[in-house]
Chains A and B, each alone.
Chain A
Amino acid sequence: MSPSSIAAIVPILCVTAAGLAAMLAEAFRAPGEKMPIGGLGLIGLVGAAVSAALLWGRHATGFGLVAADTFGLFFVMILVVIGVMTMLLSPSLVEREGLPEGEYYALTLFALAGMMLMAMATDLLVIFLALEVMSLAVYVLTALRRDAEASVEGAFKYFILGGFSSAFFLYGLAFVYGLTHTTRLDRVGAALADASAAHPTFALLALGLLLVGFGFKVSAVPFHMWTPDAYEGAPTIVAGFMSTGVKAAAFAALVRVITVAFPSLHALWYPVLWGLAAVTMILGTVVGVAQTSLKRMLAYSSIAHAGYLLVGLAASNDTGRGAILFYLLAYGVTNLAAFGLIGLLATDDRANDDLPSMAGLSNRHPALAAVFSVLLLSLGGIPPTAGFVGKWYIFSAAIRSGDYGLAIIGVLTSVVSIFFYLRVIVMMYMAEPGDAPRSPEPSPAAVFTLAAALAAIFYLGILPTRVIDLAAHSIGSLF
Chain B
Amino acid sequence: MVSIIVFLPLAGALLLLLIENHDGRRDAVVRWTALGASLAVFAATLLLWSRFDPTRADFQFVERHPWIPAFGVQYFVGVDGISLFLLVLTGFLTPLALLSSWESVRDKVKEFAAFMLALESAMLGVFVSLDLFLFYIFWDAMLVPMYFLIGIWGYDRRIYAAVKFILYTAVGSVLMLLAIIGLAWMHNSITGGGHSFDLLKLYDLHLPPQLEFWFFLAFTLAFAIKVPLFPFHTWLPDAHVEAPTAGSVILAGVLLKMGTYGLVRFAFPLFPTAAAFFAPWLAVLAIVGIIYGALVAMVQPDMKKLVAYSSVSHLGFVVLGICALNLQGLQGSVYQMLNHGVSTGGLFLIVGMLSDRRHTRQIAAFGGLKAVTPRLVAAFMLITLASIGLPGTNGFVGEFLILLGVFRWDPRMAAFAATGVILSAVYMLWMFQRVNYGPVVHEENRALPDLTRRERWVIVPVVAMAIFMGVFPGVFLKPMQPSVERFLQRMSHPSVARAVEAPSPNPADAAWRGAAASGARVKH
CA distance A395 to B182 in the complex (A): 10
Quick check: B141 and A429 within 8 Å, CB to CB?
A: no
> B457 contacts the other chain (Cβ, under 8 Å)?
no
Inter-chain contacts of B158 with A (CB < 8 A)? 430
Q: CB within 8 A of B166: which of A384, A422, A431?
A: A422
Task: Give which listed residue, B163, B167, B170, B185, contacts A426 with CB less than 8 A.
Answer: B163
B69–A465 touching, CB < 8 Å: yes
Chain A residues within an 8 Å CB radius of B181: 392, 395-396, 399, 407
Does A442 have its Cβ within 8 Å of any Cβ on chain B? no
CB proximity to A under 8 Å, residues B169-187: 170-171, 174-175, 177-178, 181-182, 184-185
Interface contact A419-B163, CB-CB below 8 Å: yes
Interface residues of B in 310-369 (CB under 8 A from A): none
From A382, A408, A425, A464, give the contact of B141 (CB < 8 A).
A382
A469 near B70: Cβ-Cβ < 8 Å:
yes
* B152-A430 in contact (CB<8A): yes
Is A327 an interface position by the 8 A CB rule? no
Q: A384-B141, A396-B71 are in contact. List 8 more A-B contacts (CB 8 A).
A: A382-B140, A383-B137, A388-B140, A392-B133, A399-B182, A408-B178, A415-B170, A415-B171
B167 proximity list for chain A (CB < 8 A): 415, 418-419
Q: Residue A12 at the B interface, CB < 8 A?
A: no
Q: Does A355 contact B (CB under 8 A)?
A: no
Question: In the complex, what's the smallest C-beta–C-beta distance from A285 to chain B, in angstroms?
Answer: 13
From the candidates B141, B143, B178, name the one contacting A395 in the complex (CB within 8 A).
B178
**A430 interface neighbour in B136, B159, B171, B177, Cβ under 8 Å:** B159
With both beta carbons as reference points, the residue of chain A lying nearest to B140 in the complex is identified as A383
Residues of A within 8 A of B (CB): 377, 382-384, 388, 392-393, 395-396, 399-400, 404, 407-408, 411-412, 414-415, 418-419, 422, 425-426, 429-431, 464-465, 468-469, 472
Residue tally, chain B, CB below 8 Å to A = 32
A interface majority secondary structure: helix
**Chain B residue at smallest Cβ distance from A400:** B185
Query: In the complex, which residue of chain B has the Cβ closest to the Cβ of A427?
Result: B159
Instruction: Give the most central of B69, B141, B184: most A CB within 10 Å.
Output: B141
A408 with B166: CB separation less than 8 A: no
Contacts A384-B137, A465-B69 given; does A377 touch B178 at CB 8 Å: no
Asked if B70 and A472 make an inter-chain contact with CB atoms under 8 angstroms apart, the answer reads yes
Q: Are A399 and B178 in contact (CB under 8 A)?
A: yes
A-binding residues in B (CB < 8 A): 67-71, 133, 136-137, 140-141, 143-144, 147-148, 151-152, 158-159, 162-163, 166-167, 170-171, 174-175, 177-178, 181-182, 184-185
Contact in complex: A411, B162 (CB < 8 Å):
no
Assembled-state Cα–Cα distance A382/B137 (Å): 8
- Residue from B71, B166, B175, B178 in contact with A468 in the complex, judged by beta carbons closer than 8 Å: B71
A395 to B218, CA, bound (A): 15
Q: Which of B143, B171, B185 contacts A412 (CB 8 A)?
A: B171
Contacts of B140 in A (CB 8 A): 382-383, 388
Minimum CB–CB distance from A360 to chain B (whole Å) comes to 12
Q: Is the CB of A465 within 8 A of B70?
A: yes
Residues on A with C-beta less than 8 A from B178 are 395, 399, 404, 407-408, 411
Cα(A273)–Cα(B148), bound, Å: 38
From B141, B148, B163, B171, give the contact of A383 (CB < 8 A).
B141
When distances are taken between beta carbons in the complex, the residues of chain B under 8 Å from A414 are 174
In whole Å, how far is B479's beta carbon from the nearest beta carbon of chain A?
31
Q: Return chain B residues, CB-CB under 8 Å to A429.
A: 148, 151-152
Cβ contacts under 8 Å, B182 to chain A: 399, 404
Do residues B70 and A430 form an inter-chain contact, with CB atoms below 8 A?
A: no
A377 and B177 form a contact (CB under 8 A): no
Q: A407 vs B144: C-alpha distance in the bound complex, in angstroms?
A: 23
CA distance A356 to B144 in the complex (A): 22
Please give, as numbers and ranges, the residues of chain B lying within 8 Å of A395 by CB-CB distance.
177-178, 181
Q: Are A430 and B185 in contact (CB under 8 A)?
A: no
Distance of A408 Cα from B136 Cα, bound (Å): 17
* Closest A-B pairs by Cβ, 3 of them: A411-B174, A383-B137, A468-B70
Q: How far is the CB of A391 from chain B (nearest CB, A)?
A: 9
Interface centre among A396, A407, A469 (most CB of B within 10 A): A396
Contacts of A468 in B (CB 8 A): 68, 70-71
- Chain B proximity of A112: nearest CB distance (Å): 29
Looking at the assembled complex, report how far the CB atom of A299 sits from the nearest CB atom of chain B, in whole angstroms.
22
